Amino acid sequence: MKNLPIALRMLRRNAHAGEARVLAAALFVAVAAVTTVGFFADRVRGALDQQANELLGGDLVVISDHPVPRPFVERAAAEGLATASTTTFPSMVAGSAGTSLAEIKAVSRAFPLRGRLRVAGPAAGADREAEGSPAPGTVWVAGPLVSRIGAAEGQAIRVGNATLAVAAVITREPDSVLDYFGIAPRVLMNEADLAATGLVQVGSRVTWRLLVAGDAKAVARYDEAMRPLLARGERIEGVRDSRSEVRVSLERAQRFLGLASLLSVVLASVAVALAARRFSIRQTDGAAMMRCLGAAQADIFAINAWQFVLLAAAGCAAGTAAGYGAQAVLAQWLTGFFSVALPAPGWRPAVQGAVIGMVLVLGFTLPPLLRLRNVPTLRVLRSDVAVAEPSSLVAYALGLGTLSALIVWQAGDLRLGAMSLGGFAAALGVAAAAGYALIRGLARLRAGASGPWRYGLANLRRRTGSSLVQVMALGVGIMAMLLLTLVRTDLIVKWQKSMPADMPNRFAINIQGDQLPLVKAYFAELGLATPDLYPMVRGRLVAIGDRPVSPASYEDQRARRLVEREFNLSWARDLRPDNRIVAGAWWNPRADDPQFSVEEGIAKTLSIRVGDTLAWDVGGTRFSARVTSLRKVEWDSFKANFFVIASPGLLERHPASWITSFHLPSGREEVVNRLVERFPNVSVIDLTAIMGQVKRISDQVSRAVEFVFLFAIAAGLVVLFAAITSTQDERVFEGAVMRTLGASRRQMVLTQLSEFLAIGLLAGMVAAAGAVGLALVLSERVLGVPYEFNWVVPVAGLLAGGAGVAIAGLLGTRRAVDSPPLAAIRALG
Amino acid sequence: MNAIRETQDDGALPAVQPVIVRAEGLTKQVSTPDHELTIVRGATFQVAAGESVAIVGASGSGKSTLLGLLAGLDVPTAGRVWIDGEELFAQDEDGRARLRGRLVGFVFQSFQLLPALTALENVMLPLELAGLADASARASRVLGQVGLADRLGHYPRQLSGGEQQRVAVARAFATEPKLLFADEPTGNLDSATGAQVIELLFAMNRERGTTLVLVTHDEALARRCDRRIAISAGVVEA
């Protein structure tokens, strides 16, 4: 510790040097980026943890896709636990002003067991806690329905065949965390009215829940006793069940934002390495002198390491404070997502940020520290004695290893980690290759340039390594922003434009068999094209060949979810034009052996091949048939399509509902209103509204990601300053020589300007090329829309890069222009 | 040629004193692209405690290299050096640094003050490196002795060349070394300032009974020393 006071004293002075500021700034940006995401995620997690049972509506919930079996209710009663039940499903509701799809939740009297609903309304006054749940004959509705269908307090709305009075407007539901999860606004009703609606029918998408609450020990006993009894389509979610869907989605979002924030850490590490190297060069003679005065190598190491650690601590502390402030902005932007208040964040993200900052410092300052440790003492007599440089690859291996470990850790699993690592490496590698080629190309132009411009370009070429690092770091930052802003909206607009004008924009579901001729007649009556109606039977996949199927048989999360739920099976005689056979053959309509055709994507996910026999369970009846073909489906035709289609004759005897999609010209909303009036069980889903909602969510999420990428741009600028600082003495000396030789201030500014303008333009080019390349791939491969080049992207990239870097560069090199020449030459010559 | 010429300015032998520096066959060679260059060749001599010795020679004669070898700042190609009875090159780099911290002080032509530290802090540095508790008080006292009591908080760039060299002298004497090496201590100073610094250096040397080994090409300065060791083309002349 004897070295700490010396380090502190030296730092007091060194802290004013450019490289020390750059080092602290790099850590500030990296830690701010990481802690912003960390604090925000912590608040969301905190909300989930603190209100876990409130969010659940009870201490434990049994969730089922069929009515919850009696034993679950009986056992709860035997344990002395309170119970409540809910039945949820989507349905159309009609008011005096129109119709809308709604998420109906029919609840028993005791609902909710934990937490309270909050309601408001003209009569209810301001937002207040509700007493219990809606009385029979009444509903409580979500705010949006009030104006959309005319459902103010006191008015009546139709839910299926029942007419119910609106008694309150819901402002907060305890068991809904994220507002966007439901595709439609909530209607809460009493379960006593459920039968009257006539909505729970064959093919309805209904979820039954049994909420349980009471003494913790009894709940634990209940949980233990009932879990082994769970059948297919049933599950238990507890307060400590960390795998709930909400949690999984949030973890995924946090992981993604975390990875985005690591881009700043990667760029900051470049700045740290540059600044630490410059620091070590400046300390070389001092270290030799200290050796001369009796300092051991360990002392030299410790004195300088302490300075780095102290600087880093300051940067990390400021970064954490900034991260704390920034998460509030992020939370504000994403506020629409959460129906619960977010608690204050804990201290963990701060520690995490500090650890990342310190690890970054240790990883990337070690080589310069080792260099100082090895300074030959003879330098006190002869300043030309060279310092042994540690092998940079070996020395930086620690830093690179640390960064890789950070990325893998943030990604949460090895595969995603390796992919992210590959992505980072590929992005930087491509940027480096492009940057190098551009620097070489631009330097050739210097013969044609005049005066200061020629010197500027010559400098660019001479400092190829340093220029390249700047081009890469800034290029990657600008590219991230271009992708999120211009390219994203561009692609969405192009994709929407690529859709035919008469593309279906409504789905009608839940049509019963006896209503088919009536529905067709209704469309004909209104002069609309008769829509194609497809039958739908809900069934569970039980075996592939002689392999029984259960979620446990799959590693893949999507596969697990698919087999957990019921499939919508359909049957057809002929292959539809928007389906194409990719393996096997479509059936001969006259063949009488039952067959299946499976969509190729799902076949891959579930490992189904042509020739496999699939066994299904539909309402307790089991049947099986062979897969004879795999199909490619054009999902974006927005027509009703099915993963699994059976040949005629296999499914007809099972209860079915029908689905159709149709194009509703704007201004003809009355078609839907009257359809629902005539067939109250039919639900119409407005695709335009859903797409609008998807767009709104994507806008909000991308704003959050943009926000995180702003740190990457800041980190890119810190790299720029680090590079400027590392060449500062050189620039000041050259400036002094130019001044001595008669250069005007204007010429000096132009020399610096040309170099930075070139770096900025090159970074802009790298960014634009990367963004255009990725847009091309996304457009052609993912969206299937021919790519159209958009001039705005490269122009914006070049403008952002050129102007930004030129301004920042000139600010950073003021000293080179303004230093008195004699002093500079004396000091540095 | 090829031997040491050690002269006593007044012709008399010094009183019998223990030897503080002993060099034996000290040789330094460096490789150049076409041949091996010998900078110091087989230097053998000794310096008694309390003596002041000037190493003199023309530019490029190898005097600074010899000083570097004597102080263990550089490693010889061949030969051995003992400081206060301890063999210098039998120790590793850190061992030599510790030995310097304990026994040796330095004054350089280019002062070699750390720009990040104030005058006081520069003088405190060797005391702190040696782990001494009252570094600040001792450093202030020595700075007072060199006439800089009112400049303690000044940074090197706020001091004149003469003042900077006085800080360096204070730093050299702060640890009360037995042996002081000085490399062209007036080389960067004008003659008047240089003379003042030399006065100070010799006065403090005398007061403390320190052994002084001085490299210079200034004849007048060399004459003030008890003895001269002349070096020419790497060879210490007898």
Structure tokens, B48:
């008694």
Q: Which residue of B has its CA nearest to A10?
A: B116
Interface test with A, best of B74, B104, B112 (most A CBs within 10 A): B112
* Topology of domain B6-236, CATH: Rossmann fold (3.40.50)
Is the separation of the CB atoms in A318 and A34 below 8 Å? no
Asked if the Cβ–Cβ distance from A298 to B94 is below 8 Å, we say yes
- B68 CB neighbours in chain A (<8 A) are 378, 381-382
Beta-carbon separation of B108 and A12 below 8 A? no
Q: Does B64 touch chain A (CB under 8 A)?
A: yes
Work out the angle between the directed axes of helices B135-145 and B119-129 (0-180°, nearest 10): 130
Contacts of B108 in chain A (CB under 8 A): 380-381
Helix (H, G, I), strand (E, B) or coil at A590: coil
pLDDT confidence of residue B2: 32
Interface test with B, best of A14, A279, A292 (most B CBs within 10 A): A292
Q: Which long-range contacts (CB under 8 A, 24 or more apart) does A361-364 make?
A: A361/A23, A361/A27, A361/A272, A361/A308, A361/A309, A361/A312, A362/A398, A362/A402, A363/A269, A363/A396, A363/A398, A363/A399, A363/A400, A363/A401, A363/A402, A363/A403, A364/A269, A364/A272, A364/A273, A364/A276, A364/A396, A364/A399
Of the partner residues B101, B112, B183, the one whose CB lies closest to the CB of residue A294: B101
Classify A507 as helix, strand or coil: strand
ipTM exceeds 0.85: no
Strands B19-31 and B78-83: antiparallel
Average pLDDT of the residues in B121-128? 87
Cβ distance of A381 and B183 shorter than 8 Å: yes
Distance from CA of B13 to the nearest CA of A (A): 32
Q: What's the rounded Cα separation, in Å, for the pair A92 and A669?
A: 14
Residues A117 and A129 sit within 8 Å (Cβ to Cβ): yes
Is a pLDDT exceeding 50 seen at residue B1? no
Counting as low any pLDDT under 70, the low residues of chain A are 49-53, 55, 121-126, 174-183, 202-203, 239-250, 335-341, 390-395, 447, 450-451, 690, 693-698, 740, 742, 782-783, 820-829
pLDDT in the model for residue A303: 92
CA dihedral in degrees (A213, A214, A219, A225; nearest 10)? -80
Q: Classify A450 as helix, strand or coil.
A: coil
Asked if the Cβ–Cβ distance from A285 to B125 is below 8 Å, we say: no
Selecting from A14, A380, A381 the residue whose C-beta is nearest the C-beta of B116 gives: A14
Cβ atoms within 10 Å, residue B37:
11
A102 contacts A93 by C-beta, under 8 angstroms? yes
Judge contact between A31 and A323, C-beta under 8 A.
yes
Interface membership of B121 toward A (CB under 8 Å) = yes
Highest mean pLDDT among A72-76, B60-64, B95-99: A72-76
CB of B100 within 8 Å of a chain A CB? The answer is yes
Q: Which two tokens stand for residue A627?
A: 């897969």
Query: To the nearest whole angstrom, how far is the Cα of A308 from the nearest Cα of chain B?
Result: 15
Mean pLDDT on B116-121:
86
Nearest of B170, B152, B195, B189 to residue B105 by alpha carbon? B170
Using the beta-carbon criterion (under 8 Å), do A289 and B114 form an inter-chain contact? yes
Closest CA to B215 of A22, A380, A604, A398: A380
DSSP A823: H
B51 close to A (CB below 8 A): no
Contact: A377, B74; criterion CB under 8 Å: yes
Tokens encoding B179: 């042996």
Interface A:B, Cβ pairs < 8 A? 88
The b/e string for A246-285 (b: 16+ C-beta within 10 A; e otherwise) is ebeebbebbbbbbbbbbbbbbbbbbbbbbbbbbbbbbbbb
Chain A environment of B115 (Cβ under 8 Å): 13, 286
Q: Encode pLDDT of A225-240 as tens digits.
A: 998 888 878 888 876 6
**Is A290 in Cβ contact with B129 (below 8 Å)?**
yes
CB contact under 8 Å between B97 and A294, yes or no, is yes
CB A83 within 8 A of CB A166: no
Asked if A681 and A160 touch (Cβ cutoff 8 Å), the reply is yes
| Per-residue pLDDT, A293 | 87
Q: In whole angstroms, what is the distance from residue A66 CA to residue A210 CA?
A: 11
Close Cβ partners of A83 (under 8 Å, ≥ 6 residues apart): A73, A76, A77, A108, A110, A113, A210, A211, A212, A213
Instruction: Provide the pLDDT for residue A822.
Output: 62
Whole-number Å distance between alpha carbons of A565 and A562: 6
What is the mean pLDDT of the segment spanning B38-66? 91
pLDDT for A305: 92
Contact B100 A292 (CB under 8 A): yes
B86 close contact with A: CB closer than 8 A: no
Q: With beta carbons less than 8 A apart as the criterion, state whether A762 and A439 touch.
A: yes
- The Cα–Cα gap between B117 and B94 comes to 24
- Interface touch A289/B112, C-beta < 8 Å: yes
**B94 interfaces chain A, CB cutoff of 8 Å:** yes
Q: What residues in B contact A11, CB-CB < 8 Å?
A: 116
Looking at residue B218, its pLDDT comes to 86
B104 interaction partners in chain A (CB closer than 8 Å): 294
Q: Residue A590 CA to chain centroid, in angstroms?
A: 50
When CB atoms are compared, the residue of B94, B116, B121 closest to A296 is B94
Residue A380 with chain B: CB contacts under 8 Å: 73, 106, 108, 112
Q: pLDDT at residue B11 above 50?
A: no
Q: What are A's interface residues with B at a Cβ cutoff of 8 A?
A: 2, 5-6, 9-14, 285-286, 289-299, 376-378, 380-382
Task: Give the pLDDT confidence score for residue A107 in this predicted structure.
Answer: 93
- B133 in contact with chain A, both atoms CB, cutoff 8 A: no
- What is the distance between the alpha carbons of residues B145 and B125, in angstroms, rounded to a whole number? 18
CB contacts of A6 in chain B (<8 Å) are: 125, 128-129
Q: Which residues of A175-187 are buried (b: 16+ CB within 10 A; e: fewer)?
A: bbbbbeebebbbb
| Average pLDDT of chain B to the nearest whole number | 86
* Inter-residue contact A316 to A357 (CB < 8 Å): yes
Q: Which of B65, B101, B155 sits opposite A293 (nearest CB)?
A: B101
Cα separation of A355 and A312, whole Å?
11
Is pLDDT above 60 for B188?
Answer: yes
- DSSP of A143-197: HHHIIIII--TT-EEEETTEEEEEEEEEEE-TT--BGGGSSS-EEEEEGGGHHHH
CB A198 within 8 A of CB A160: yes
Q: Which amino acid type is present at position A638?
A: F
Q: For B185, name the nearest residue in chain A, comparing CA atoms only.
A: A381
For residue A88 the two structure tokens come to 């949820």
Pair B60, B232: CB distance under 8 Å: no
Mean pLDDT of B61-68: 88
Output the pLDDT for position B213. Answer: 94
Please give the residue that has the higher pLDDT: either B59 or A179: B59
Do residue B116 and residue A10 have CB atoms under 8 angstroms apart?
Answer: yes
A604 CB neighbour count, 10 Å cutoff: 13
Q: Do A380 and B72 touch (CB under 8 A)?
A: no
B112, A380: Cβ pair inside 8 Å?
yes
**Torsion B218-B219-B223-B226 (CA) sign:** positive
Question: Shortest CB distance from B117 goes to which of A2, A9, A296?
Answer: A9
Instruction: Convert the pLDDT of each residue in A61-113 to its tens digit.
Output: 898 888 999 999 999 999 999 999 999 988 888 888 888 888 899 999 888 88
Rounded distance between C-alpha atoms, residue A481 and residue A93, angstroms? 43
Nearest by Cα to A300 from A278, A284, A313: A284
Interface probe, candidates B98, B114, B164, chain A, greatest A C-beta count within 10 A: B114
Whether residues A297 and B121 touch (CB distance < 8 A) is answered with no
Cβ atoms of B27 and B18 within 8 Å: the answer is no
Which residue of B lies nearest to A291 if distances are taken between CA atoms?
A: B97
Task: Please tell me which of the candidates B67, B97, B102 has its beta carbon nearest to residue A291.
Answer: B97
pLDDT score, position A391: 66
Q: Regarding predicted confidence, which is higher, B134 or A499?
A: B134
Cis bond upstream, residue A112 (ω within 30)? yes
Cα–Cα distance measured from residue A337 to residue B94, given in angstroms and rounded to the nearest whole number: 62
H or E stretch at A783: none
Please name the residues in contact with A677: beta carbons below 8 A apart, sequence gap of 6 or more. Answer: A94, A99, A158
For residue B167, count other CB atoms closer than 10 A to its CB. 28
Tell which residue, A45, A41, A482, has the closest CA to residue A257. Answer: A41
